[in-house]
Structure 1
Amino acid sequence: MLFGGIGVMACRNPVLPVISRLIQHESDALDYSATEEDQLLLTVQQINARIGPTLMENRWSSDYSGGKDPASWTGSVAIFETYLRTGRPVKYGQCWVVSALVVTVRRGANNNIVSLNPVCRALGIPCRPVTAYQCGHDMGDSFVLNLHKRFNKTGDIRSRYEGGSCWVYHAWNDIWIERRDLRFGLGGWQAIDATRRSLRNGKFGALNILSRESGPASVEAIKTNQKHPILLDDNGEQDLQDITNEYKHTDCRTRKLPNCVPVFKGRDVIFTLAPMRRTEFGQAFTVAVKIQNNCDEERYITCALSINSVFYNAVVASGIKSINQELVVKPNDVGEVKVEVSFDDYYKRTVDEDLIKITTLAIVGKTKQIWSEDYYFLLYKPSLIFEFSKHPVLNEATIMSVTFRNHLKVPITDGTFVVEGSGLLNPKTIRIGDVGPDEQVTMSEEITPMRPDYLNMFATFSSKELRGVVGSTTVKVNQREKWLTKFIKTLKHK
């Protein structure tokens, strides 16, 4: 799991009015007769329950008509301002957008926190966003997911979970509060999840570790559950922290848990999915399975390999390519099943973050040994390039430009920049139209820094063919030396 603590906007006027509206929702306003010990917990529960259905409308599809692509948001201020203006849920968000609304932080020099903003931190509640990879989504309170796989003659593999699903990643938040309503030792970090997903019984819930009400749930109490690594990121990718040990016991020997089951090792054929190299969107890639026969007999093997584009909640969007191959691997020899995927194969089939899922399933004829593996990888996008006409100085105008180059062999249409920077520029959308192959486009904007500090600038670029192109930069805004200011004024008077 990943703590993404890098922030976007400082605490501005819309934040507190939105909080007031959330906690005083007409259907279930806060009970101010509650004791002081209960008041904080009630406030957190109220905000957590209202951010999802009241402030933000979520959508998990590739159609975002009538709203904005969740990947195009550069900050939370625009969402708050839209909500205050319309009084209706803002379209559209997904889990990481909702998590950012719960908490955002902007950091200054030497990683010091220089301003805190929405929503929990605006109330003085310590809060961190957390992202989990390969995480279970429980739909029936069983805390168990059973995976079934089948493949057809063409090699197309279909996976089905009983009891829920397994998401590629999911984001929620941890808050730090005392829990006098729980037994001693269960205070501290508490998990909350404001992203709402419908359950089978018609109610709403979130990630299975958080309970149907989506928290606050004690992280210490969650710790006996077994999940994939949990990472905590304070400042982009610069200081990644592994907090897996806060959510689970990382060694099966630490606790005797029912799901720490040893795997049978006496199999004479070893299957290995070759590591994927970093692939830019627009490039071809290869998927290969190496098959090593360690016995003194031939092995007849059937290997199916399926490549699909998926949403971040692991729902298959479109099939890209699949094969079903039979081969014989000689004694103590190595065989290989390989699939080449071109840009034309996956172009127009990817969605959202351009996530690709590789699913493999192999059966050894004589021994009936079965091997299967799922692997997710991301097609990387080009970065946006920032430039400034001069070094930013407090209260002095400078020109900022953001550049995008189309590296694809096809034109892209309806290109749009969204830029935003705390203390530099309010959220702004610039439409630039079509961009031809290998063509470069630049948008420019005059900015006037409003405070001396290390300030962050964020930008996204999206189009019908290419989404989720992002860029960010941190600039140091200096104050002009007093003697220089006086000297300039003197020159002006002369």
Structure 2
Amino acid sequence: MEPIEVQSTEFYPKDNARENHTAEYDLVNNPDFPTPILRRGCNFFFAIRFNRDFDEINDVVRVRFGFGPKPNVIRGTRAILPILARQKVLPKNTHMWSSCVTRIDGNIVMLQVHIPPNAQVGIWKCSIQTNISGQRDKRYDHKVEDDIYILFNPWCEDDGVYMPDEKEKQEYILNENGKIWCGTFKKPVGRHWIFGQFDDIVLPAAVLLLDKSGLAPADRGSPVLVTRAISAVINSVDDDGLLEGRWDGNYSDGTSPHAWTGSVAILDQYLRTGGTPMKYGQCWVFSAATVSVCRALGIPCRSVTNYVSAHDTNCSLTVDKYFDLFGNKIENGPEGDCNDSCWNFHVWNDVWMTRPDLPPGYGGWQIIDATPQEQSDRIFRCGPASVEAVRKGLVGYLYDTPFVFSEVNADIIHFQEDQNSDWGFSRLKINQYHVGRKIVTKRSDLTDEKGDSDMWNITSFYKNLEGTEAERLAVYNAVKGVPKAQHLYDFPSEVQEDVFFDLVDIDSIPFGENFEVRVEMENRSGETRTISAVLSASSIFYTGVTASQVKRLQQTFTLDSNQKETLKITITPEEYLDKLVDHGLIKIYAIANVKETKQTWSEEDDFTLIKPEITVEIADACKVGEDCSVSLSFQNPLDLPLTDCIYTIEGLQKPKTVQFRDVQPKETVNISDSFKAKRPGERRIVVNFNSRQMQGISGTSKVTVLL
């Protein structure tokens, strides 16, 4: 008697997708080659067609599922499931691979298979071994060609990423559209982004990235280790990951970070080039791509923006800034080795999971950061760091908690050159309230197409209210664990301060308009005071690095008792336009010294120049696979032409980038284009317009696509 042979198999991708919450994936819905996409902790149906009727007494059939290049039962990367006709229901132990026979119909056997909730995530392969009972000298092995994707399962209580709130799952797993906040803490600007986690190339690209990360196959069932690997491989440093970062404004040999409208084009090009890093990304692009990869793999993920984000390079829990005798900032400090900085904003990610490696109470949202800033265990990666541990200043908990704590809590210290000081500098001020001014993400219950009412201020989750006893306690908890920080928190008492200074805040200025920088002063003593003051304005990259000085004023004057005075400079478009860099950010520094009392004062502020918005109008009737027209319009606010123009449309089809003509000064631009939607339902279109003079002009609109 010959062993039974497998003729074909069927995974019923669309039917199984309903129970496994994977029906949105394009790979499942491919009309020619539907791919099974399943979640751990779930069941799926699987049919085998043999060359003859199945003989439950004599035929021995084993279904084998394997993960990685060398599947191994001990490591949990191989499961062997014998077909037992007597096994009519699945075993109660849900933490093991198991199967049962639901029907035998001649030569067709229908199985139900259970995936354990800790199974490795990625592509599994299936093979079927057959032989005759009592005969081991002859057997057949059938290799199933289908790739079987197994994902994390936030619907399963036994999965480490289980998320109980249904609305949160809708946002953090299923929502393909979102916002990433840029701008400044005084004027946050929501940037629309298409995450596209269900696109047919995103899941394969995510698996390729995990392979690139070097994470051992046996470890790919741990959300802690998988998200740590993702934080490393989204950037290209160390491992030829997804995106190469660039912050100097020169993107001529790649794509400007401002030109991306979603993650699909990035992941598509990466997959098609066999893993060549895409040029270029900055923090919000790294974060957006991280959302796409995490959600595609089943990990709840959101993009988070920290306004005034400290980059502490020497583990002191402070950001140290140095100024010379004349009030000019000394880049990189007096020795050239101080690279501390404050980014106007920095975007990272929160991922949701349990933390079995930490004490109870530190699960939930965990911070990962894919922007390559500092090495962690010799690799550029960051996290997952427990948000709750950061809030309490418990910097001893894994992973990279001290670095993240500094990002939201570091104190800023200004030092000025002082010839009477033993080490050449004296402290101007310590600012305990500037860093981590506002931490935001998108609300899960609202999407605002035209405004930013869907911004959710989550600062209180990361840090206690500034100035409160709980906030200082968290800082001192952290200081106790960081020896380099301790000497910076023991300063001598303050000198007499009887002159009041105030740098007047600027929220935002439209592109092409004048702005004024003012410092108000008042002598509150009964004597005359002599004041030396410096006021400067510079264009900066959003990382805090100075690009060009725009204007500077230095002045010495006297104030009589109780006298008030205003020091101000007016800056015109002609003075700043050719010095602007990405995001149109301006940094103000003000420094003052009082001769009679040795009182010193310094302050800093920044603001952004506001760009126009694109108006997006879409035809009322839009059907899958048919041309749908879209109209775009905006006005050039400058007295200069916009050159090297391109625009990108994304959201209802693959991203589309179009070269465009020069735009004349003050011209109102009208563009007509079309697209073909590939899926029905309520969808969103995102448009981005870039030129040499102004990048990141954007707009969005919602559209209902019919079958």
TM-score bin, normalised by smaller chain: 0.7 to 0.9
Cα offset for 1:31?
2.9
Q: How does 1:128-277 map to 2 (within 5 A)?
A: 128-152=302-326, 156-158=328-330, 160=332, 162=338, 164-197=340-373, 203-205=378-380, 213-223=381-391, 224=393, 225=405, 226=409, 227-228=435-436, 229-234=438-443, 235=447, 237-250=452-465, 251-254=467-470, 256=473, 257-258=475-476, 267-276=497-506
Determine the structure 2 residue equivalent to 1:30. 216
Cα offset for 1:42?
2.5
Determine the structure 2 residue equivalent to 1:94. 282
Residue-by-residue CA offset, 1:20-78 (whole Å, 9 max, x unaligned): 111122x724232x595xx3322222222211111111111111121011011001000
Q: Secondary structure at the match of 2:265?
A: helix
Q: Which moved more, 1:253-262 or 1:350-359?
A: 253-262
Determine the structure 1 residue equivalent to 2:644. 414
Provide the C-alpha distance between the structure 1 equivalents of 2:453 and 2:495, rounded to a whole number of angstroms: 39
Change (3 A) 1:377 1:346: same
Cα offset for 1:471?
1.5
Q: Which moved more, 1:182-191 or 1:223-232?
A: 223-232
CA contact (8 A) 1:392 1:477 kept: yes
Residue-by-residue CA offset, 1:187-216 (whole Å, 9 max, x unaligned): 1111111111356x99454xxxxxxx4011
Residue-by-residue CA offset, 1:146-189 (whole Å, 9 max, x unaligned): 2222253xx64446564622211111111111111112222111
Provide the C-alpha distance between the structure 2 equivalents of 1:5 and 1:219, rounded to a whole number of angstroms: 24
CA contact (8 A) 2:348 2:369 kept: yes
TM-score (ref. length: structure 2) = 0.60
Determine the structure 2 residue equivalent to 1:313. 543
Letter in 1 for 2:319: L
Residue-by-residue CA offset, 1:260-292 (whole Å, 9 max, x unaligned): 999969622111112325311111111111111
Among 516, 532, 555, the residue aligned to 1:325: 555
Cα offset for 1:432?
1.4
Cα offset for 1:232?
2.5
Determine the structure 1 residue equivalent to 2:528. 298
CA contact (8 A) 2:321 2:329 kept: no
Cα offset for 1:230?
1.9
Change (3 A) 1:163 1:399: closer
Determine the structure 1 residue equivalent to 2:205. 18
Q: Gapped runs of 5+ residues in structure 1? A: 104-117, 206-212, 480-494
Cα offset for 1:242?
2.1
1:82 equivalent in alignment to 2:269: yes
Determine the structure 2 residue equivalent to 1:49. 232
Cα offset for 1:144?
3.0
Change (3 A) 1:291 1:277: same
Determine the structure 2 residue equivalent to 1:344. 574
Residue-by-residue CA offset, 1:207-226 (whole Å, 9 max, x unaligned): xxxxxx40111111111242
Q: Secondary structure at the match of 2:502?
A: strand
Letter in 1 for 2:214: D
Determine the structure 1 residue equivalent to 2:245. 58
Provide the C-alpha distance between the structure 1 equivalents of 2:677 and 2:223, rounded to a whole number of angstroms: 36
Letter in 2 for 1:77: V
Provide the C-alpha distance between the structure 2 equivalents of 1:17 and 1:471, rounded to a whole number of angstroms: 30
Determine the structure 2 residue equivalent to 1:475. 703
Among 600, 607, 612, the residue aligned to 1:370: 600
Cα offset for 1:337?
0.7
1:447 equivalent in alignment to 2:675: yes
Determine the structure 2 residue equivalent to 1:432. 660
Provide the C-alpha distance between the structure 1 equivalents of 2:494 and 2:358, rounded to a whole number of angstroms: 41
CA contact (8 A) 1:156 1:305 kept: no
Letter in 1 for 2:388: E
Letter in 1 for 2:194: V
Among 288, 296, 301, the residue aligned to 1:127: 301
1:284 equivalent in alignment to 2:472: no
Identity across the alignment (%): 37
CA contact (8 A) 2:495 2:597 kept: no
Q: Which moved more, 1:13-22 or 1:90-99?
A: 13-22
Q: Secondary structure at the match of 2:701?
A: strand
Change (3 A) 1:334 1:159: farther
Letter in 2 for 1:175: V
CA contact (8 A) 1:390 1:399 kept: no
Determine the structure 2 residue equivalent to 1:208. none
Change (3 A) 1:338 1:204: farther
TM-score (ref. length: structure 1) = 0.84
Q: Secondary structure at the match of 1:456?
A: strand
Determine the structure 2 residue equivalent to 1:486. none
Change (3 A) 1:265 1:175: farther
CA contact (8 A) 1:357 1:376 kept: yes
Provide the C-alpha distance between the structure 2 equivalents of 1:442 and 1:151, rounded to a whole number of angstroms: 52
CA contact (8 A) 1:386 1:473 kept: yes
Provide the C-alpha distance between the structure 2 equivalents of 1:146 and 1:278, rounded to a whole number of angstroms: 26
Determine the structure 1 residue equivalent to 2:143. none
Change (3 A) 1:239 1:35: closer
Cα offset for 1:252?
2.5
Q: How many residues align?
A: 449
Residue-by-residue CA offset, 1:306-351 (whole Å, 9 max, x unaligned): 1111111100011111010112222212101110101110121110
Letter in 2 for 1:169: F
Change (3 A) 1:204 1:325: farther
Cα offset for 1:476?
3.7
CA contact (8 A) 2:202 2:264 kept: yes
Q: Secondary structure at the match of 2:234?
A: helix
Q: Secondary structure at the match of 2:666?
A: coil
Cα offset for 1:433?
2.0
Q: Secondary structure at the match of 1:96?
A: helix
Provide the C-alpha distance between the structure 2 equivalents of 1:5 and 1:329, rounded to a whole number of angstroms: 47
Provide the C-alpha distance between the structure 2 equivalents of 1:9 and 1:126, rounded to a whole number of angstroms: 13
Q: Secondary structure at the match of 1:464?
A: coil
